[in-house]
Amino acid sequence: MQIFSTITQQLHAPQFEFFRGERVPCFETPSRINIILKEVAARGHQVTNATLDSQHIIECLHSPRYISFLQNAWPEWLRLSLNNVDKQPFPAVWPVRTLRTDRVPENFIAKLGFYSMDNGTPISAGTWLAAKNAADAAYSAADFINQGAHSAFCVTRPPGHHAGYDFMGGYCFINNAGIATEALRKFGCSRVAILDVDYHHGNGTQSLFYERCDVFFTSIHGDPRTEYPFFLGYEDEKGLGEGFGYNLNLPLPAGSTQTQWFNAFDHALNAIRRYQPDALVVSLGLDAYCEDPISTFALSHTDYLTIGKLIGRLNRPTIFILEGGYAVTALGINAANVLEGFENS
Ligand code: Q9C
Ligand code: ZN
């Protein structure tokens, strides 16, 4: 399978995040990509650096003021103090119910709260460039499909599925799956399905396409009653207006078994078959794996072969996009197994 990746992923390298009240090393690291690239290359897949400019697609999905905030965030942080060069900005206040969202504050930390759903999405010097190039890879993969290819895999970071129209969150800044989907639509696909198998609900992706029937979104994830992102991902979210019936959430209790997971997966695949999409975008989070340090599902290495095989049997042009997955040493095997299952379906 053709792999699209980026060198600049390394430049998004925040040092720590908050976890249960403590500063801990980031789970979402550059090594995640390196380990996947090593394994897919060893199994004979072709890796290329993405080159196309996705700026016009980014502008279809994200607000102008959010894009310019992301672009200027690190310089603004340094403007507060040059000592900030080896420090990380974090939001501290959010516009919850009764507070105004029609005024964008000028204070940089307040702006971070305005544009972020959580305090778990740290920014570093190279974040914009890395996120922009990950979107470029998603666009390049869509272009590759448009040229007649059957599949592609974006081995990129930061991930994207938590990022929405004007906010970041859950380690995500630009919605890469959304970029691939929007690009496929522009290239002439009438219907695109998005299958999100990350442990966490793809709240950003859902929200971007919630009122549209040209994009079907389905997701299998930890129940938001107890799992991140908590505030979206329930089964009663079915889409709105023209989009009603084109959103399918399949939340599973924390600690669900492989059987429970594959039952939900079967529902998702059947719904995709009924939708008859021209192309498929897979938000390939690998954090439903049993050893993932921040998740509670039980999938094994071989389950990822099965996932690839069942996706392959949909027999649609398919773009896989890496989302989460934090059991770093297992990521290469699990990612490569999905590709192997897909290609041998
Ligand atoms: N800082 C993805 O898998 N945070 N995002 C957990 C608290 C939320 C996961 C720890 C996890 C987000 C793309
Ligand atoms: Zn995740």
At 43-63, the pLDDT tens digits run 999 999 998 999 999 999 999
Number of Cα atoms under 13 Å in the Cβ half of residue 278: 18
> What pLDDT score does 37 carry?
98
Ligand 2 (ion): residues with CB under 5 Å are: 198-200, 285, 287, 324
> What pLDDT score does 16 carry?
97
Which residue puts its alpha carbon closest to atom 13 of ligand 1? 324
The type of residue at 330 is: A
Q: Is 154 helix (H, G, I), strand (E, B) or coil?
A: strand
Q: Which of 26, 200, 203 to mutate to test the pocket of ligand 1 (most atoms within 8 A of CB)?
A: 200
pLDDT grade for 265, boundaries at 50, 70 and 90: very high
pLDDT grade for 277, boundaries at 50, 70 and 90: very high
Q: How far is the CA of 171 from the centre of ligand 1 (A)?
A: 6
> Which is the closest atom of ligand 1 to the Cα of 18?
1
Q: How far is the CA of 232 from the centre of ligand 2 (A)?
A: 14
Dihedral, CA atoms, 40, 186, 269, 322, nearest 10 degrees?
30
> What pLDDT score does 14 carry?
98
Q: Which of 167, 294, 321, 331 to mutate to test the pocket of ligand 1 (most atoms within 8 A of CB)?
A: 294
Known catalytic residues? 162
Q: How far apart are CA 18 and CA 118, in angstroms?
A: 10
Q: How far apart are CA 237 and CA 17, in angstroms?
A: 30
Which residue puts its alpha carbon closest to atom 12 of ligand 1? 170
Q: Which of 162, 167, 322 to mutate to test the pocket of ligand 1 (most atoms within 8 A of CB)?
A: 162
> pLDDT tens for residues 148-172?
999 999 999 999 999 999 999 999 9
Task: Give the residue from 316, 284, 315, 289 showing the smallest Cα distance to 302.
Answer: 289
For the chain, percent of residues with pLDDT exceeding 70: 100
- Strand ranges (DSSP E) for 20-82? 22-25, 46-49
- Average pLDDT for 177-182: 99
Which residue puts its alpha carbon closest to atom 9 of ligand 1? 170
Q: How far is the CA of 161 from the centre of ligand 1 (A)?
A: 11
Q: How far apart are CA 131 and CA 159, in angstroms?
A: 8
Q: How far is the CA of 186 from the centre of ligand 1 (A)?
A: 31
Helix, strand, coil in percent for the chain, rounding step 5: 40, 15, 40
> Which is the closest atom of ligand 1 to the Cα of 20?
7
pLDDT grade for 108, boundaries at 50, 70 and 90: very high
> pLDDT tens for residues 68-99?
999 999 999 999 999 999 999 999 999 999 99
Residues with Cβ within 6 A of ligand 1?
17-19, 120, 159, 162, 170-172, 198, 200, 228, 285, 287, 294, 323-324
Q: Which ligand is nearest to the CA of 323?
A: 1
> pLDDT tens for residues 186-211?
999 999 999 999 999 999 999 999 99
- Average pLDDT for 101-126: 98
Q: Are 66 and 167 in contact (CB under 8 A)?
A: yes
Task: Give the residue from 301, 288, 316 showing the smallest Cα distance to 197.
Answer: 288
CA 257 from centroid of its chain's CA atoms: 23
